[in-house]
Every structure is written in structure tokens, then in C-alpha cells.
Amino acid sequence: MTGYIYLAIAIAAEVIATTSMKALAGFSRPLPLMLVIVGYSLSFWMLALVVKTIPVGIAYAIWAGLGIVLVSVAAALIYGQKLDLPAALGMALIIAGVVVIQMFSKSTGH
């Protein structure tokens, strides 16, 4: 279970870092820059801990898949970026893929 807590932290940190990139303005804004540096550092540190207990392929699929969806939602809320129907359907498929992995894969380590 600890692996999944680390994975949740890794995903949250990556989402914060990636969402902050748009606000960097050519590396001229210190707060977004710190969020990017600290966010990615924390994310990769947690991901390194995750793969001690969860297979790397499964951990990366969940990290990347949920990261894509959450960054898209954050961009819509923070920056007003619009998602069209194909983008929303694609993200629904990503979520479905993560659910299938969690519910049915014997590779998840739980």
C-alpha cells in the first residue's frame, strides 16, 4: 500500500510541475520555476520509491496516464484550455485503462 501512496504523491507533484510550465514565461518567473524544479524532483524521487514495490511498467502506466488526464483538467480549470470530444474520449479511455490494470492485472503487485 505504501507504494500507492508514493505513486499518488509522484502523480500530484508531476501534475503541479507540468501545469506550472505554462506560467514560466521563459524562466523569468521564480515561483513557477520553483514549482517545476521541486515538483519534478519530488515526482521522480517518489517514482523511484514506487518501483521498489510496484512493477515499473505498471507504475509508469498509472503515473503517465493519470498525469495526462489531471494535467488536462488542471489546464482547463487554470488556463481555460478547452478539450474537444475526441480529447475527452481519449482521456476516458486512459482512465479505463488504468482501472483495468488495477482491477484485473496480476502484475500490479497487490
Per-residue DSSP letter, 107: T
Residue 11 lies in a domain: yes
**Would residue 43 count as lying in a domain?**
yes
Residue from 79, 10, 14, 71 nearest 46 by CA: 10
Residues 58-86, mean pLDDT to the nearest whole number: 92
The pLDDT tens digits for 11-38 are 999 999 999 998 888 888 899 999 999 9
Does residue 92 lie in a domain region? yes
Q: Considering its fold, how many domains does the chain have in total?
A: 1
Containing structural domain, residue 92: 2-104
H/E segment holding residue 47: helix 30-50
Query: In this structure, is residue 109 part of a structural domain?
Result: no
Residue 60 lies in a domain: yes
Residue 88 lies in a domain: yes
CA 8 to chain centre: 8
The 10s digit of each residue's pLDDT in 72-82 is 999 999 999 99
